[in-house]
């Protein structure tokens, strides 16, 4: 962040976000955010942040903002025939590759897929992690989702947001809508036409997860959200109305 104080940054960001809102729907406005934003994208498993907002992550990192991808687990339950340790190792390497493609920094929160806990100890632990990143904006799972680890991640982020006095902007993303995420009515869209190829490459870095199959659904979502926005490809988000409006890539 530059010499801007956080309050001034949010003030300017709010003005800018308001000014961008109309432009965002036209999908044509050149984007510049004030100062350098610290963006955290929290997902339950390697591949969730990439599928939910890989195009937006690339938009932020291309514009010089710092993006951290925070994985709650290493997806230890996610490869048939492998032990949790083996799968966790393989999927961590895949996550590192995806983060390189998106120019983001991976952080692993240390929970285990298949044994995810949401309790007071976990709230404390996750809060410390989020505090250490000092985010201006956090993206996480929409909590109405069929995979039990996705709402768990969402609740951990939400509790951290409450305990940090709602200071950072909070947005929710969608994954495999219709099969996992449901009841998702976007408030914001980001044009990812320029970064869709990198999103796709980052998703395909998760080779152990049958990316042909899961990306086919996200390809449809990217196109559908793009039609809603008026661009070729887009990602959609729900903004928590009690959190600051921070500049979204427009
Ligand atoms: Zn997941």
pLDDT digits (tens, 9 = 90+) for 48-71: 999 999 999 999 999 999 999 999
Q: List, for residues 184-227, the tens digit of each pLDDT value.
A: 999 999 999 999 999 999 999 999 999 999 999 999 999 999 99
Neighbours of ion ligand 1 (CB under 5 A): 44-45, 48
Q: CB–CB of 173/137 below 8 Å?
A: no
Q: Which two tokens stand for residue 13?
A: 């960001």
Q: Predicted confidence band at 239 (pLDDT cuts at 50, 70, 90)? A: very high
Threshold 0.85, pTM exceeds = yes
For residue 107, CA distances in Å to 45, 67, 71, 98, 211 come to 12, 11, 6, 13, 22
Taking the centre of ligand 1 as the mean of its atom positions, its distance from the CA of residue 24, in whole angstroms, is 28
Taking the centre of ligand 1 as the mean of its atom positions, its distance from the CA of residue 44, in whole angstroms, is 5
Q: List, for residues 217-234, the tens digit of each pLDDT value.
A: 999 999 999 999 999 999
> What is the gyration radius of the CA atoms in the chain, in angstroms?
17
Tokens 């305990």 found at:
163
Taking the centre of ligand 1 as the mean of its atom positions, its distance from the CA of residue 147, in whole angstroms, is 7
Q: How many distinct helices (H) and strands (E) make up the chain?
A: 7, 7
Residue 22 or residue 9, greater confidence:
9
Taking the centre of ligand 1 as the mean of its atom positions, its distance from the CA of residue 45, in whole angstroms, is 5
Taking the centre of ligand 1 as the mean of its atom positions, its distance from the CA of residue 7, in whole angstroms, is 34
| H/E stretch holding 71 | strand 66-71
Taking the centre of ligand 1 as the mean of its atom positions, its distance from the CA of residue 87, in whole angstroms, is 14
Tokens 């990143």 found at:
133
Q: Predicted confidence band at 34 (pLDDT cuts at 50, 70, 90)? A: low
181: phi then psi, degrees, rounded to nearest 5:
-70, 140
Taking the centre of ligand 1 as the mean of its atom positions, its distance from the CA of residue 5, in whole angstroms, is 36
């Amino acid at each position: 962040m530059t010499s801007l104080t956080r309050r001034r940054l949010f003030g300017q960001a709010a003005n800018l976000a308001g000014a961008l809102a109309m432009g965002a729907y036209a999908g044509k406005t050149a984007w510049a955010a004030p100062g350098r934003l610290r963006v955290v994208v929290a997902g339950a498993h390697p591949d969730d942040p990439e599928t939910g907002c890989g195009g937006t992550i690339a938009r932020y990192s291309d514009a010089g903002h710092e993006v951290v991808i925070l994985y709650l687990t290493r997806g230890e339950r996610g490869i048939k025939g492998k032990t949790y340790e083996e799968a966790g190792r393989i999927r961590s390497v895949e996550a590192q590759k995806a983060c390189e493609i998106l120019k983001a920094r991976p952080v692993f929160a240390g929970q285990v897929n298949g044994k995810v806990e949401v309790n007071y100890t976990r709230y404390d632990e996750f809060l410390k992690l989020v505090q250490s990143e000092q985010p201006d904006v956090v993206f996480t799972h929409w909590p109405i989702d069929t995979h039990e680890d996705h709402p768990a991640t969402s609740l951990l982020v939400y509790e951290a947001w409450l305990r940090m006095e709602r200071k950072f902007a909070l947005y929710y993303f969608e994954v495999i809508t219709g099969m996992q995420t449901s009841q998702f009515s976007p408030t914001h869209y980001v044009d990812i036409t320029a970064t869709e190829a990198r999103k796709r490459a980052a998703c395909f870095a998760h080779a152990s997860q049958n990316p042909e199959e899961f990306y086919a659904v996200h390809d449809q979502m990217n196109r559908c959200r793009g039609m809603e926005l008026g661009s070729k490809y887009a990602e959609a988000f729900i903004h928590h109305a009690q959190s600051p409006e921070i500049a979204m890539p427009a």
